[in-house]
Amino acid sequence: MPARLTGGYVSADGHVVEPADLWTTRMDRRFRDRAPHIETRKSVDFYVIDGLDPVAVGLDGAALESKIAGKVESPVARHADTRPGAWDPQERLKDQALDNLRAEVIYPGQWSLMFYRIADAEYQRAAVQVYNDWLSEFCAYAPNRLLGAAILPMQGPLEWAAEEAERAAKIGLKAVMIPAAVPARPYIHPDYEPLWARLEEIGLPAVAHSGTAADIGASTHEKARRVGPGMAFMDEKAFQPMNAMTELIWSGAPQRYPKLKFIISEGGIGWIACLLRLMDHWWEDHRHWMQPQLNEPPSTYFKRQFWATFEDDRAGILTRELIGVERLMWGADYPHTEGTFPKSQQQIAKDFVGVPDDEVYRMVVGNAAQLFGIPL
């Protein structure tokens, strides 16, 4: 291990699993009778959110112990079986030490990630605010090691999203989340202009995380029943991040707001160089008639204003010179089963074979530390 890595890695993508009673005890009383909650059906726990199909608890944390044991035999589990570090910050620091982490960027669990598909704008806003308050408290336990990303309410007036971004900054959160896809109001829509301007002013990165498309009613479980679990998984893990990067760059927002920062999170990176080249090729041939017009090739905006996270992605690491090594950030994805906990050191040693030490350091420590202001 390079000497500079002995102090621990910085995971640019980690998650919580929200406490079972979070919304039933904290949500605005107008919505308390339909607050998000856990229901047990035939010995399986389900996340229940008003207006959405229930989703079985499991791969977002409770099944982690099965993976550590060497075999995930079922995608469902009991919420109470979740590893304590998923919601207890003191236990989280113990797991960070176990996995050689010095700091971690924290995103929602599967439960809160589903909030983007809530149709009731006021209900969504109330649920989001409860989550952001709790996350702020969680991260305040060790603010240099736990860096939270707030959820923005996006169904209602976008002024609500801007107000929540400002509130998130005030309560110590370090990024804000936007949906990976918004079919009803794509990012090229002029409604977003005031939000982009406010986010640029606030200075927090805007994150498009996998599994956050605002396609109301089309849950991963519904897609799994329709097209198979593998296809549904790929839609959330790969295609949504691709959509987010493409749509945000083509919208012209990075050009109009050059200090606005974006993160494409938990979608891997092996596809980025290929997609950027395709976008550049299209721009070279058609930029004179396309609207909005981009003054520079799309890859220019990515290399100036975008970052992307990955877990186990040797293919992406090998394309780093095409993307820019300073744009890439490794993440352990704790406590999800597709993450690398508790064997991140072994995974990094395997995936980064042949990569110069200074580049390894940038991807597993330096880039995230610089972007989020983590003291080293």
Q: How confident is the model over 94-136, as pLDDT tens digits?
A: 999 999 999 999 999 999 999 999 999 999 999 999 999 999 9
For residue 341, pLDDT over 60 is answered with yes
Pairing relationship of beta strands 306-310 and 328-330 according to DSSP bridges: parallel
Classify residue 150: in a domain, yes or no: yes
pLDDT of residue 323: 95
**317 domain-assigned:** yes
Report the Cα–Cα distance between both ends of the chain, in Å, rounded: 18
CATH number at residue 219: 3.20.20.140
Residue 259 lies in a domain: yes
Question: Is the confidence at residue 225, as pLDDT, over 70?
Answer: no
pLDDT over 70 for what percent of the chain? 92
64/232: higher pLDDT: 64
163 occurs within a structural domain: yes
Mean pLDDT of 38-46: 91
Rounded to 5°, the CA angle 176-262-99 comes to 70
Domain count along the chain? 1
- For residue 13, is it within any domain? yes
**pLDDT at position 73:** 67
What's the pLDDT band for 22 if we cut at 50, 70, 90?
Answer: very high
Match 């993450």 to its residue by tokens.
339
Write out the residue range of the structural domain in which residue 275 sits: 3-22+84-372
Q: Can you give the pLDDT at residue 232?
A: 56
9 found inside a domain = yes
What's the pLDDT tens digit per position in 261-311?
Answer: 999 999 999 999 999 999 999 999 999 999 999 999 999 999 999 999 999
The model's pTM is 0.94
Cα–Cα distance measured from residue 367 to residue 361, given in angstroms and rounded to the nearest whole number: 8
pLDDT band at 349 (very low <50, low <70, confident <90, very high): very high
Residue 234 predicted with pLDDT over 70: no
Q: Is residue 107 part of a domain?
A: yes
Query: 287 near 293, Cβ under 8 Å?
Result: yes
Contacts of residue 139, defined as CB under 8 A and 6 or more positions apart, other chains included, come to 89, 106, 146, 147, 148, 172, 173
Distance CA 313, CA 78 (A): 30
The confidence score (pLDDT) of residue 338 equals: 84
37 within domain boundaries? no
Whether residue 218 has pLDDT greater than 80: no
**Strand 175-178 to strand 37-41: parallel, antiparallel, or no bridges (unpaired)?**
unpaired
